[in-house]
Amino acid sequence: MFYKIAKTLSKVTIILGFVLMVGGGSEKSQELFYLYEALGIVTFAAGAFALECFRYQEYQYRKRKIKEAKEHARREAA
């Protein structure tokens, strides 16, 4: 969920930054281009990092459950 929101927000800010740059708006708009681009890239990176963290946590959880099941089966067999 967080990844999807971050991905959407980053794309919107990157597009808005390009529109401001290409649109040839005021100088203030041109200066804001860098801010919007940086915001988009940082948001996308944070979303990607969060996704990888959640995947790793899920992997560790599954690994732990399999280990517990094997130990339980071993104890039942003994």
14, 42 in Cβ contact below 8 A? no
Q: How far is CA 18 from the centre of its chain?
A: 22
Number of domains in the chain: 1
Tens digits of per-residue pLDDT, 12-30?
A: 777 776 676 666 556 666 6
- Tell me which residue range forms the domain holding 26: 2-77
Tens digits of per-residue pLDDT, 33-63?
A: 777 777 777 777 777 787 788 889 999 999 9
**What does the pLDDT read at residue 54?**
85
**What does the pLDDT read at residue 60?**
94
